[in-house]
């Protein structure tokens, strides 16, 4: 079998595996405990917090650990807007965000009377920053735009949107689950106020992620998980020491950064091959990360392929209650139902040279 689904989740790096096994064995005490072992774990956790902060140009006390990017997105969006209702009830996001963002927005619309503007992308899957800027109003409290789209690999114009948010004093949240460690992120340079990341997208363990919140102490945030005061009172629950230390090992490991060029080469070869056999590239041909390639092939049953092939990949669509639903992302870039049914998302890493056999 050949794994081509790295955008869905990644295996553990050897360095991560080693640290996880060690920590599960040795770091079993509660990191909030006052004794030596607890304090030693807590110190290591604080080091990871610092590593993550340094990797995005933030301060260590602006990082909160969560169970992953979904929870980070919940804390950022619900946590911020519900604590700042007086500032307005308008949110701007895009129509091709990860499902959890759309679900949060639908919840806020339905249960809390928020008005949400969903910006559609251009045909290539890239959002026009002007569209976002034009949607900004006096009562806009938050803009949430993903850095890299998980189905297409398109890179969104975060810097231009961040600048406009800064000028208009609107909070800016970015879901960076797909971009973190693939594209350099500096939260100051990009004017990002909140940033979500997840360990299992960067060869770390599942069940751990983080949210960066600018000026955490001065920012009103409502907790989503109330608890015993952990994480500045914003996210209750005993910190999962091994997962956090495994996350830290993944952040420190430079494999993703060092293999970018190789992945780019595989992506280029694949694009050429797909076009040679009469296929179409759904991903954009500018502003994309090479790790994600969405393609469409003639007379191709993607559902059947994904379910049965030894090439493990995803269809740009979701199954809900046994009905095959068309991917809303592919629909938003203008594909017909039939086109979407013959599209697959290949997500790559540096070890995927044998993917070219796919076309033999």
Ligand X SMILES: *Cc1c(COP(=O)(O)O)cnc(C)c1O
User: CA dist 24 to 18, 19, 84, Å?
Assistant: 10, 8, 39
Site for ligand X in 122-161 (CB under 6 A): 146, 150
CA distance linking residue 44 with residue 73, whole number of Å? 25
Q: Is 165 one of the catalytic residues?
A: no
CB 150 to ligand X: min, Å: 4
> Which listed residue (100, 105, 165, 319) is catalytic?
319
- H helices of 212-352, where? 241-252, 255-258, 260-276, 302-308, 328-332, 337-341
Binding of ligand X by 242 (CB under 6 A): no
Site for ligand X in 40-79 (CB under 6 A): 68-70
Binding of ligand X by 332 (CB under 6 A): no
Nearer to ligand X, 74 or 342 (CB): 74
DSSP state letter for 190: T
**Nearest residue to ligand X, scored by beta-carbon proximity:** 68
Binding of ligand X by 209 (CB under 6 A): yes
Binding of ligand X by 205 (CB under 6 A): no
Q: Which of 49, 87, 90, 98 binds ligand X (CB under 6 A)?
A: 98
CB 318 to ligand X: min, Å: 13
Nearest Cα to 292, choosing from 59, 3, 5? Answer: 5
Nearer to ligand X, 42 or 91 (CB): 91
CB 142 to ligand X: min, Å: 16
Strand partners, 174: 195
CA distance linking residue 191 with residue 178, whole number of Å? 19
Nearer to ligand X, 234 or 329 (CB): 329
Q: Which of 12, 58, 75, 100 binds ligand X (CB under 6 A)?
A: 100
CB 347 to ligand X: min, Å: 10
88: left (phi over 0), alpha (psi -120 to 50) or beta: left
Binding of ligand X by 201 (CB under 6 A): yes
CB 211 to ligand X: min, Å: 11
CA 348, 63, 157: angle at the middle one, nearest 5?
50
Nearer to ligand X, 9 or 268 (CB): 9
CB 158 to ligand X: min, Å: 13
CA 92, 222, 116: angle at the middle one, nearest 5?
15
CB 144 within 8 A of CB 167: no
Stretch that binds ligand X, among 39-47, 80-88, 126-134, 193-201 (CB under 6 A): 193-201
Nearest Cα to 200, choosing from 228, 180, 173, 226? Answer: 180
Nearest Cα to 152, choosing from 125, 181, 127, 121? Answer: 125
State the residues that interact with ligand X by CB under 6 A: 68-70, 98, 100, 146, 150, 175, 177-178, 198, 200-201, 209
Residues marked active site are found at: 319
């Amino acid at each position: 079998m050949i794994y081509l689904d790295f955008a869905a989740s990644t295996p553990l790096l050897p360095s991560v595996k080693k640290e996880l096994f060690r920590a599960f064995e040795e770091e079993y005490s509660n990191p909030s405990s006052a004794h030596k072992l607890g304090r030693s774990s807590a110190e290591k956790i604080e080091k990871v917090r610092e590593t993550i902060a340094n990797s995005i140009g933030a301060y260590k006390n602006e990082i909160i650990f969560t169970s992953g990017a979904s929870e980070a997105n919940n804390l950022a969006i619900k946590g911020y807007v519900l604590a700042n209702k007086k500032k307005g009830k308008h949110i701007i996001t895009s129509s091709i965000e990860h499902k959890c963002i759309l679900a949060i927005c639908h919840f806020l619309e339905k249960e809390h009377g928020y008005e949400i503007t969903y910006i559609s992308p251009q045909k290539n899957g890239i959002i026009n920053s002007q569209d976002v800027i034009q949607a900004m109003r006096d009562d806009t409290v938050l803009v949430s735009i993903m850095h890299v789209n998980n189905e297409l690999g398109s890179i969104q114009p975060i810097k231009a949107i961040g600048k406009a948010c800064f000028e208009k004093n609107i909070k800016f949240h970015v879901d960076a689950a797909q971009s973190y460690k693939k594209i350099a992120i500096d939260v100051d340079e990009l004017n990002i106020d909140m940033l979500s990341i997840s360990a299992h997208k960067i060869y770390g363990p599942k069940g751990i992620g983080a949210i960066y919140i600018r000026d955490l102490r001065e920012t009103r945030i409502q907790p989503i998980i109330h608890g015993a005061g952990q994480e500045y009172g914003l996210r209750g629950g005993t910190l999962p020491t091994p997962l956090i230390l495994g996350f830290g090992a993944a952040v420190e490991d430079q494999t993703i950064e060092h293999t970018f060029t190789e992945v780019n080469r595989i992506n280029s070869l694949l694009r050429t091959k797909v076009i040679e056999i009469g296929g179409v590239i759904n991903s954009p041909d500018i502003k994309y990360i090479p790790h994600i390639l969405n393609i469409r092939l003639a007379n191709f049953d993607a559902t059947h392929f994904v379910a049965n092939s030894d090439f493990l990949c995803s269809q740009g669509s979701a199954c809900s209650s046994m009905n095959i639903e068309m991917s809303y992302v592919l629909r938003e870039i203008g594909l017909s139902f039939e086109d979407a049914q013959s599209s697959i998302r290949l997500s790559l890493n540096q070890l995927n040279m044998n993917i070219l056999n796919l076309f033999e």
